[in-house]
Amino acid sequence: MDITTLPVVGPLLHSGADLLAATTAALSPVAGGLAAAIAVVLLTLAVRAVLVPLAVLQVRAERDRRRLAPRVAALGKRYGTDSERLRRALQELYTNEKVSPLAGCLPVLAQAPVLSLVYTLFTHGSIGGVTNTLLEATLAGVPLGHSLIVTVTSPLWVHAWVVVVLLAVLVVVVEASRRANLRWSPVAASDTGTPVPGAAATAAIGRYAPFITVVFAAIAPLAAALYVVTSAAWTLGERAVLRRVLA
């Protein structure tokens, strides 16, 4: 089944393709061959600007969890290895303080449909039976519909450095964001220095999970990778500003 022909998905993809095509055409006289890539970046920035209110809620939730960290540590000390009682106590604490542990997921969930749209636009040769001209766009010789894997295994492998540089930038941004998050959000621990149950596993996940985006960017079309890198850089700067303002 061709998802580009579905009743809801098809019109959205057509609208997205038309928007990117129009933006690319408008930028072409100035940006030349970079127009399509810049159009994807501008789309990303527009989406992130719309999601700023959700980012504010996210940072406020982080601030509240930071404020509650000593009480969370006390609960960990009180209930020890009784994970069920600890879970109920934490849930009660968050409910009483009107803090949502899931608030931090809102911007990611809100961006998922847009990222899926960009991914689909650059992985289908046709949209609803119409030839997808977006696949003809390139960035430094690499089609926006090519991933790193496709590029290095094709005659265009000499241009793979473009994708590698993009991924390197993403690694730097992700690591900077991870370190900033660690400085902002304290690791919950009891007064005796004994970690709250599950804290070690959480720390391990927090150390490596952010780099899943790098893996995705490596196997996704270059256009989707551009979206991910731009969004990650926006997040890094946005968090720095909001944490300073809302602290």
pLDDT tens digit sequence for 4-21? 666 767 788 888 888 888
184-220 pLDDT, tens digit each:
765 544 443 445 455 556 666 767 888 899 999 999 9
For position 27, what pLDDT does the model report? 94
246 pLDDT band, cuts 50/70/90, is confident
Spell out the residues 6+ positions from residue 9 whose beta carbon is closer than 8 angstroms to its own: 3, 120
Task: Report the number of distinct structural domains present in the chain.
Answer: 1
State the pLDDT at residue 203: 63
Asked if 4 and 127 count as a contact pair (C-beta separation under 8 A), the reply is yes
Stretch among 51-55, 118-122, 125-129, 167-171 having the lowest mean pLDDT: 125-129
Residue 188 domain boundaries: 3-246
